[in-house]
Amino acid sequence: MAGSKYSRTAEKDHAKVSTEKLRVSFEYLDLSLPHFFIHGLEAEHYRKIFDCIHEITDSTEDQIVQQKHPSLEAKSIFNKGGEYKRFPEDIEQRIFQKISGIQKRAAESENDGAKVEEDAYVMARAQAESQAKSIVSRAFEVRVGKAYGRIHGIVWDKVFYVVWFDPAHNLYPDDRFGGVRFHKDFARVKGFSPEDVTNLREVHLEHCNQIQAELEKLQADNDELMETFASMPSQEVKQV
């Protein structure tokens, strides 16, 4: 009976979680790699991305994890081939820090704010590291649309954490379509990198300085002319 009781409770909890809709988070968004980008796309591509994100928020965790969503075509990633074997290590580290911070606060709360024992701290840290590895391994991709690429992310605690936007299918490139296509090969709209913005700012500043110098020269010429007029006898000024 006991086993049946706990089994029913577990099934009820799972059913509740399974029907809850996902949230979308960009907390672990990574734009550091040349294979993955979101700038320089056409307007229709962004509409597809927003539609995809909306579709994720109308999905359940089970639909993604069990790869049974009717339109997103969710798939587990990093389990065969591909340009990358995992998400960047710093994402796992950030998840670890988040979990260990939660565990530490929970432990201190249980001990009425007292400092956690060293052994307990080491054990909690090891558990957090293990959890972080497990969470990062829950990596999936969803389909943005035909010829519009994929969104890669982590599904954890009813949240889809977007990590990579992959409009050019660069995680699993297809040689039939040109293989890996970087931003300069794929983008249709001119984008501006931080370096471009800095260069434009410097050019703009240079032009402003030139205009300022010309204005100051004109002002000096005008002042000189006015002084000349002021020093001339009134009769000469009338003749001028």
Give yes or no for residue 232 having a pLDDT over 80. Answer: no
Provide DSSP, 13-71.
HHHHHHHSBPEEE-TT----STT---SS--HHHHHHHHHHHHHHHTSBHHHHHTT--TT
| Domain regions of the chain by residue span | 12-186, 194-239
Distance CA 155, CA 62 (A): 10
CA dihedral 59, 62, 63, 68 (to 10 degrees): -170
Give per-residue pLDDT as tens, 79-90: 988 999 999 999
Task: Report which of residues 47 and 146 the model is more confident about.
Answer: 47
CA angle 41, 175, 142 (to 5 degrees): 50
What average pLDDT does this structure show over 9-18?
54
Least confident of 12-16, 50-54, 159-163: 12-16
Of how many residues is the chain composed? 240
Would you state the pLDDT for residue 1? 46
Q: What is the CA radius of gyration of the chain?
A: 31
Instruction: Supply the pTM of this predicted model.
Output: 0.70
- Bridge partners (DSSP) of residue 23 are 159
Give per-residue pLDDT as tens, 166-177: 999 999 998 887
Q: Where are the alpha helices (DSSP H) in the chain?
A: 2-19, 43-57, 61-65, 89-110, 118-136, 183-186, 194-231, 234-239
What integer best gives the mean pLDDT of the chain? 85
Q: Quick one: pLDDT band at residue 94, thresholds 50, 70, 90?
A: very high
Would you state the pLDDT for residue 4? 52
Would you state the pLDDT for residue 6? 42
CB atoms within 10 A of CB 193: 10
Would you state the pLDDT for residue 142? 98
